[in-house]
Amino acid sequence: MKKQLIGGMILALSATSCSQKNEQPNIVLIAIDDLNDWVGAFGGNPQAITPNMDKLAEQSVIFQNANCPGPVSGPSRSALLSGFMPYTTGIYGNANNMLDSKLVQEHATLPEYFSKNGYLTISKGKIFHKHTTKNGFDHGHWAYDIWEQEKGGGGLQTDKLYSRNKGIINGEKVENAKYTTGGGTEFAWAPTEGGKEETKDYMTAQWFAEKLQEDYDKPFFMSVGLSKPHLPWYVPQEYFDMYGLDTLKIPEFLLDDLDDIVNEDGKKTFKPSEDFLWVNEDEELFKRAVQAYLANVTYADECVGVVMDALNNSKYAENTIVILFGDHGWHLGEKLKFRKASLWKEATQLPMMIKLPEMTEKQYCYRTVNLIDLYPSLIDLCGLPEKPILDGESIVPLLKNPKMKWHPTVTSKGPGAFSVMAEEWHYITYGNGVEELYDLKNDPMEWTNLIRTKSDDVKNALEYLTAYIPKNYVEAIPISEKDKSMKEIDLTIKPKRDLDRLK
């Protein structure tokens, strides 16, 4: 009797750590490319229509202050998946491939570590950042037991195309179009010709819905990669129609917002982006850009719903951890820019929620956490061997008590350029004498740079935050050789990733 009672207690205590192999939970990780906090449950924009993510949030811990390791896909995802921060590996930009890092060559990535420790890993859609190598394409295909290339599209209604780069408004080429330069993916939107059934993310979601009907003899780790709301914003018309232009609101911004970010000589360091200048010429165009992003968010939400409905109707519903996140934030006019790649809050903060099988209610966590924390957290949740070398820290204690004390977190943009985010203050240094400090409690839009303000509050905040700046950081690793004529998947990578050898 006594013995049984003790056994029962141990079982209760280990409900979330699942140290017994046959009780290890399954994992569904949903990565949504360029999704910011414009999700109902996160409150970033009350106009956002996201019923499926909101439903998942009803039984999750919602991290309101989750940050990215680096504010673009490549460094953010490489850090999350390798477990090492950009300043540890030198993977600071999209052109750097994590596989060129010696550290990553020696250590298993997150899915490989699960594969190595008894899980079946399954992936489709964008999880790893894509690279061309000298032998083909690196999609991160090598990191999974089961991997399938995504496909789909559905053509465009070109008579409704808007493209800044091509100077096209509502399908018409504009004469002497302005603001057509500037890098990155085309700043464009249009409805697709076909319905959602023909689109890539929807097909990816359906593939997972089928995978969730199958039987597995091991616990599984599914990585679902959704590519919208990444530019260009091409989704079916039905999603655009959900946001009426007459009532649509655009984000708040100040036209002189960048004037207080200066170098040591007092010279301004930032200027409005081409995307911003283009839409800001015409209020309707600005609204159409916001409408297009929201339409893409709602489309992504519907894809999340396909996976979640399948999971909830499967035999895995009671024993699966669900983690959903955007890979970094996204500006839509704030700080006079669109897109990402800044150290401002709009780009460093992202939506993240975690649902453990036993969770039945929505809880908010305001502590500053980071995607770098997911690798050690998943090890912790699934009872895998600890890996102290990882840069992140398990946030499982916050899943149990979202109010417990925590600490600031760091986002890294390049050698010496860091954001240190706390709940009430945000410090930024570019490593060249340009710095910013924002009082988030009184200035959540980060409009007033307090770096030169003389007050005790500012002095104390700076002292507290600058202590978290990494003491050591590496230079960017060189960009490796590519052969852009290669169109096939690089099959030479997997044989080099011997799971028995990888740490």
Q: Which residues lie near Ca ion (CB under 5 A)?
A: 33-34, 73, 257, 260, 327, 447
Name the helix (H) or strand (E) containing 5: helix 2-13
**In the complex, minimum distance from the CB of residue 449 to Ca ion, in angstroms, rounded to a whole number:** 5
Q: What are the CA-CA distances from residue 325 to residues 29, 262, 290 (Å)?
A: 8, 33, 21
- Residue placing its CB nearer to Ca ion in the complex, 257 or 346: 257
Token duo for residue 228: 């919208």
- Residue placing its CB nearer to Ca ion in the complex, 203 or 350: 350
Rounded to the nearest 5 degrees, what angle is found at the Cα of 250, between the Cα atoms of 247 and 256? 145
**In the complex, minimum distance from the CB of residue 72 to Ca ion, in angstroms, rounded to a whole number:** 6
**In the complex, minimum distance from the CB of residue 476 to Ca ion, in angstroms, rounded to a whole number:** 19
- Residue placing its CB nearer to Ca ion in the complex, 74 or 402: 74
- Residue placing its CB nearer to Ca ion in the complex, 75 or 383: 75
Q: By 3-state DSSP, what share of the chain in percent is helix, strand and coil, each rounded to 5?
A: 30, 20, 50
- Residue placing its CB nearer to Ca ion in the complex, 163 or 227: 227
**In the complex, minimum distance from the CB of residue 278 to Ca ion, in angstroms, rounded to a whole number:** 21
- Residue placing its CB nearer to Ca ion in the complex, 55 or 328: 328
- Residue placing its CB nearer to Ca ion in the complex, 33 or 112: 33
- Alpha-carbon distance of 242 to 295, in angstroms, equals 7
CA atoms within 13 A on the CB side of 380: 17
**In the complex, minimum distance from the CB of residue 376 to Ca ion, in angstroms, rounded to a whole number:** 22
**In the complex, minimum distance from the CB of residue 443 to Ca ion, in angstroms, rounded to a whole number:** 9
**In the complex, minimum distance from the CB of residue 261 to Ca ion, in angstroms, rounded to a whole number:** 7
Q: What are the CA-CA distances from residue 257 to residues 269, 283, 461 (Å)?
A: 12, 19, 22
Rounded to the nearest 5 degrees, what angle is found at the Cα of 308, between the Cα atoms of 304 and 108? 80
Among the listed residues 313, 320, 383, 382, the one whose alpha carbon sits nearest the alpha carbon of residue 357: 320
**In the complex, minimum distance from the CB of residue 258 to Ca ion, in angstroms, rounded to a whole number:** 6
**In the complex, minimum distance from the CB of residue 189 to Ca ion, in angstroms, rounded to a whole number:** 17
SS3 80: helix
- Residue placing its CB nearer to Ca ion in the complex, 130 or 166: 130
Token duo for residue 400: 């149990």
- Residue placing its CB nearer to Ca ion in the complex, 405 or 441: 441
- Residue placing its CB nearer to Ca ion in the complex, 274 or 334: 334
**In the complex, minimum distance from the CB of residue 230 to Ca ion, in angstroms, rounded to a whole number:** 6
State the DSSP string of 267-330. -B-----HHHHHHTT-HHHHHHHHHHHHHHHHHHHHHHHHHHHHHHTSTTGGGEEEEEEESS--
Rg value, the chain, Cα: 23
- Residue placing its CB nearer to Ca ion in the complex, 18 or 81: 81
- Residue placing its CB nearer to Ca ion in the complex, 238 or 260: 260
- Alpha-carbon distance of 377 to 398, in angstroms, equals 10
Among the listed residues 73, 14, 113, the one whose alpha carbon sits nearest the alpha carbon of residue 389: 113
Please check whether residue 409 is in contact with residue 421, taking contact to mean a CB–CB distance below 8 angstroms: yes
Token duo for residue 392: 């992140």
**Can you give the length of the chain in residues?**
503
- Residue placing its CB nearer to Ca ion in the complex, 100 or 257: 257
| Sequence-distant contacts of 313-318: CB under 8 A, at least 24 apart | 314/212, 314/213, 316/26, 316/212, 316/220, 318/357
Token duo for residue 274: 């081409």
Count of CB atoms within 10 A of residue 86's CB?
Answer: 34
- Alpha-carbon distance of 37 to 349, in angstroms, equals 8
**In the complex, minimum distance from the CB of residue 305 to Ca ion, in angstroms, rounded to a whole number:** 21
Please check whether residue 71 is in contact with residue 411, taking contact to mean a CB–CB distance below 8 angstroms: yes
**In the complex, minimum distance from the CB of residue 131 to Ca ion, in angstroms, rounded to a whole number:** 14
**In the complex, minimum distance from the CB of residue 200 to Ca ion, in angstroms, rounded to a whole number:** 15
Closest residue by beta carbon to Ca ion: 73
- Alpha-carbon distance of 30 to 377, in angstroms, equals 16
